[in-house]
Structure 1
């Protein structure tokens, strides 16, 4: 399909309901960028294991995503896939697995994420060996870094390059490290490597538990980033899923406006791909207008909710944004 083909196809066929919301959100994404805007991506779920890097990496390299807030799982799982892709096992009939089948996967050291199993030895342990050296080295020097900064060091060192099992263009973390993209990872301890870091602290391999900086410091870092960037650019908020990856960063605006009395602009665009519903009382299912009451969005802010599967929707929106004539 030629240049403009994807977006033309989407505009022609996606006319109603969630399909129409996708078109409107994608076009408004383009419009924000055309207005010298920056887009902030909030990414929950298992999107890295779903290989969102296939499209997200290009979005980063072509300056269509300017900062990311994600779970610790998404941060590490892109790198797991980078070095162990050929050892992953896909389980297309995962809904039919019995408890005994699951136990067999455990015995094979395969950690299942829906239809995909992450191999313990080739992915997790391989990365642990490399990043542990960085943690210990920093600890001994009295240095402190954010989780993503340690991962950037690891990727830039070239230590893993001989182990890459996918095209480098398909790793969003590699793209982010090349651009030195701003990344924010609240609750990083709720991840595999976060758990492993805690275990090394408990075993005494790392003396200062704060060698890896905390979520509170991430919020302060995000506040500084937002203050600086919003001086010259409207900033949009594109959210995949819910939970802390979205709730944490979107709150930086009321922190600045209400607590620090800084006259920063509100978010200039909002879109969420969600499968959560308002009636369940979840923050993730809250409609965008509710965010007006928290001083995150304005009345005139372009707002979209696409109630669908992010593994389908996000690549389509990214393709639409990238496929400009």
Structure 2
């Protein structure tokens, strides 16, 4: 199950982990940790209230394995980030009136979701014939996939030297949000990331934190040097080690062409390497990028 979208940072992921944990059969979770979440001012936390999901938060609260302390931290953060207090109180059933509001919210959300089921089914991607058959196909041929990824990257990136796909470069080459950034002015986001790790521990999930690389050439151009970038990698690894969780550290791939398809998102090479690490993590196999507690 894939969850999350743009602007869903660590706090959203912590709530999601608590909500979905009871349904996770193999008790494993993978978090794609984005460096941009930890830009000055805590990334885009100001967007959180627009991404808040009442049902997700309710599911988080209904997970009895999550401590009252953790639930209190999340509630305080929701209030700080501008989530409607009426919804927070309703989800927590603070009073009799709040319990009535909760029932109304849940009924309304249920109707809204049911109204979209047909469209979701029609718009969902179709499985291949092999996947539909449900027959195991064995471990992927990673070398062949890397070769294909290299070829696709070369075909997609022809108008710049950064390994960024053409359409993005044409539209966004002047967009310089990374300029003069650092990773030591995001205490709230780092605390929320620790909350995610704590939720996983309390909910019985075994997480793999994927530490995404920055685009070395582009960040150099933006004045964010390797020493500055190391602040993010070092802190992410340190908190994972402190929590005793595994991580897939791709910081060594900053200058690997086609690992990213733009300045942010994994690309052709990147997805093969990431999926290989996740595959090995799930199956208890060694992988050069895996670290921490495996």
TM-score by length of 2: 0.26
Greater share of residues in strand:
1
